[in-house]
Structure 1
Amino acid sequence: MTHSAAPFHADRDATAMRVDLFDFDLPADRIASRPADPRDSARLLRVTADGGLEDRAVADLPSVLSPGDVLVLNDTRVIPARLFARVGQARVEVMLHRRVGPDAWWAFARPAKKVRPGTDLLFAEGFTGACAEKGEGGEVLVRFDRAGAALTAALEDHGHVPLPPYIKRPDDQADRETYQTVFARADGAVAAPTAGLHFTERLFAALDERGVRRVTVTLHVGAGTFLPVKAEDTDEHRMHVEDGEISAAAAQAICEARAGGGRVVAVGTTSLRILESAAAPDGTLGAFSGGTDLFITPGYRFRAVDRLVTNFHLPKSTLFMLVSAFSGLRTMQAAYAHAIAGGYRFYSYGDACLLDGRPRERCD
């Protein structure tokens, strides 16, 4: 079956929790500003189902995965989504976060007070847009003067790589390659699916030899995914909708792997979220196309994913809440304390974890 294109909203079993439970102290020197080179030389902290910790490298993945397991990778491609516009004599940053038409994007504007419905935005000579609508929290709907491939080309020419704000440097030409997975295909993300940044063709060859299958799904990562939660209670936080797709072939391959005893290994929280959005209560997967604002906190019952490869996340972020739901808050607090003490590198260009989850129901 193919789910409708209406945004998926979670039917969660989780209860409201205080956001400050997910806070922790992180020394500034643990934040990576450049990726490991080569990519698969990044460190990997394995967190076992019983809370055990093993220090490894990403290149060790073939030895800790089993024949018949299936890796699920997000093949979204990051676009140069950070723009600067002239509004009269003012300079405004426009950070695209969700495409809603061939010529229209929702974006975060700073300073937002400079942009109102009808405001013209000059991005470059001959490349303009206008604010069509204003939303909450500095959001604006930008309608560009071109659409489709022409807009994509203009963004490539005039946009900047949307590095997260905790990377305290301007983007450069190297980021156009390193802030992109080697398997990126579908234009539309404004933030990288960062766990996928560690994979190389060499690593894929070793995984193939091991008998680990892989499939791709698509979730266009929005800027809101990585923002710290400012509410005091998790029930007060609103997730931004992100659009994605799971093909019927990918869903079938995942179910076949599970039916054969293999585990579903999501590469990144984005892959996990679209799988969980598409899964039926019994874990069965079908084709999916549409949006999701699934917000996973402790108490959520996972349906589709057995293991998770993910980077180290921000304090009080929805992503740290997600990994705490997957492996347990105390387990992840201990894992992060171990990583900080052991010199692991954090966030988008940092090192990775492999989290073992509880056994799930099999697809029939």
Structure 2
Amino acid sequence: MKISPETVYISDYNYELPSANIAEVPLLNRDDSKLLIYEKGKIIDSVFHQLPSYIEPGSTLILNNTRVIEARLLFQKDTGATIELFCLEPYELSIEQAMQQHEKIIWKCLIGGASKWKPGQLLTKPIGENSGYILTARYIEKREDYFLIEFSWNNAAASFVEVLHETGAIPLPPYIKRKAEKLDWERYQTVFSEQEGSVAAPTAALHFTQNTFQQLKERNVAYDYITLHVGAGTFKPVKSATIAGHSMHAEPFSVKKQVIEELIKAAKIIATGTTSLRTLESLYWISLKLKLSPNAELMLDQWEAYAIDEQLPNIPAKESFEYLLQWMNEHAVTELHCRTSLIIIPGYQFKVAHGLITNFHQPHSTLLLLIAAFIGDNWKKVYSHALQNNYRFLSYGDSSLLWR
């Protein structure tokens, strides 16, 4: 799998996205979204509640059960100035540990209005109404891409995730030009969201309803869950001329042993969303990394997969996952906890997923590069068709089922 990132120009992955095509609000019913099916150059227009009829019995869907946290916090200074803190990820703790922390924790944050807030200064806001409890934020220091902020609260019984529920707001994507409303607390979560820790939703799965899952069961299509906590880096623009100059964000993910057993048995694997796809492909490469070095760190760097492929080329996914299962048994591991910075660009050879359920992505984005890698240059045909037929784009937009 030889690729040349310095020849992948981001300007080639552009299209005109009218603001009228960006979905600002969700549809009344999740599964009323349009569904574009693409296979071997052909396009079919459908509706999302028809999705199960396009998936062969014996296939397995993989979904991301992460849950969006109320990561946006607004504080007001004595002067009246508003300081907005956006919690990116915990400092020196896992997401799971951080969510259950009590009394004090340090987070990496972005700050809106940072020039009005000096290191060492404290900001406070009440936790809930008339509770008497206070959340305090202390500015520790500025780092290259984020600020270190210490949060503390005077309710020893409350975990940090409970504090966020009371004081924070759902962080809608930057291209949605409105404040989060009560509706978003429900609709910017999947119906099966469970593991708290994302600052952006795995939006491909927002269309799923309990009816969808019932139809999948009746059609003998299996489904299971991985967890990848989506970071703000998913919205990070590519500023370099070629993808070689872009630094890909890292995200934590976890996969249970039973999921790997399911992947080994599956006739076809369909990833629900780019986060699930990235997890599945990362899992494949981490398995081969362990095959090369059984004590290797469970982390995949941005270009590491491409190097591993040169050492262990053309390994089938089933063989990779069988080795991973063996490694887990030998190490008495029932759930893998990993991190990935994998970047998928045109020229990448997919190892696991045969199909991808996904929304329509921004121009000049790493997500659009992933789509181009998955279906080739026909991404232009797909996106042009979607625009001409008034599909709704981005997080609250319509869906597609793409076959590799």
TM-score (norm 2): 0.80
Structure 1 stretch displaced more, 68-77 or 245-254: 245-254
Aligned residue runs from structure 1 range 1-364, under 5 A? 13=3, 15-16=5-6, 17-48=8-39, 50-86=40-76, 89=79, 90-100=81-91, 101=93, 102=98, 103-115=105-117, 117-124=119-126, 126-137=134-145, 139-146=146-153, 150-257=159-266, 262-280=267-285, 282=315, 283=317, 284-285=320-321, 286=324, 288-328=336-376, 330-357=377-404
Structure 1 stretch displaced more, 268-277 or 289-298: 289-298
Matched letter for residue 354 of structure 1: L
Q: Is contact 1:80-1:162 (8 Å) kept? A: yes
What whole-Å deviation, never above 9, does each CA across 1:150-173 have from its counterpart, x for those lacking one?
A: 211111111111111111111111
Q: Is contact 1:278-1:288 (8 Å) kept? A: no
User: How many angstroms apart in 1 are the aligned matches of 2:89 and 2:157?
Assistant: 14
Matched letter for residue 365 of structure 2: S
Which has the higher Rg, Structure 1 or Structure 2? 2
5+ residue gaps, structure 1, are 1-10, 358-364
Aligned length: 340
- Cα distance, 1:296 vs. partner? 1.1
- Alignment partner, residue 7 of structure 1: none
Q: Is contact 1:85-1:124 (8 Å) kept? A: no
User: How many angstroms apart in 2 are the aligned matches of 1:63 and 1:173?
Assistant: 33
Alpha-carbon spacing, 1:135–1:61, altered in 2? closer, same or farther (3 Å): same
- Cα distance, 1:230 vs. partner? 2.0
In structure 2, the residue corresponding to 1:59 is in which secondary structure? Answer: helix
- Cα distance, 1:209 vs. partner? 0.3
Q: Which consecutive aligned stretches of 4+ in structure 1 deviate over 6 angstroms post-superposition?
A: none
User: How many angstroms apart in 2 are the aligned matches of 1:63 and 1:270?
Assistant: 24
User: How many angstroms apart in 1 are the aligned matches of 2:340 and 2:4?
Assistant: 17
In structure 2, the residue corresponding to 1:250 is in which secondary structure? Answer: helix
Q: Is contact 2:38-2:44 (8 Å) kept? A: yes
Alpha-carbon spacing, 1:112–1:236, altered in 2? closer, same or farther (3 Å): farther
Matched letter for residue 107 of structure 1: C
- Cα distance, 1:318 vs. partner? 1.1
- Give the root-mean-square deviation of aligned CA atoms: 2.0
User: How many angstroms apart in 2 are the aligned matches of 1:264 and 1:14?
Assistant: 28
What whole-Å deviation, never above 9, does each CA across 1:320-361 have from its counterpart, x for those lacking one?
A: 111111111x2111111110110000010000111101xxxx
Q: Is contact 2:5-2:242 (8 Å) kept? A: no
Alpha-carbon spacing, 1:237–1:118, altered in 2? closer, same or farther (3 Å): farther
In structure 1, the residue corresponding to 2:159 is in which secondary structure? Answer: helix
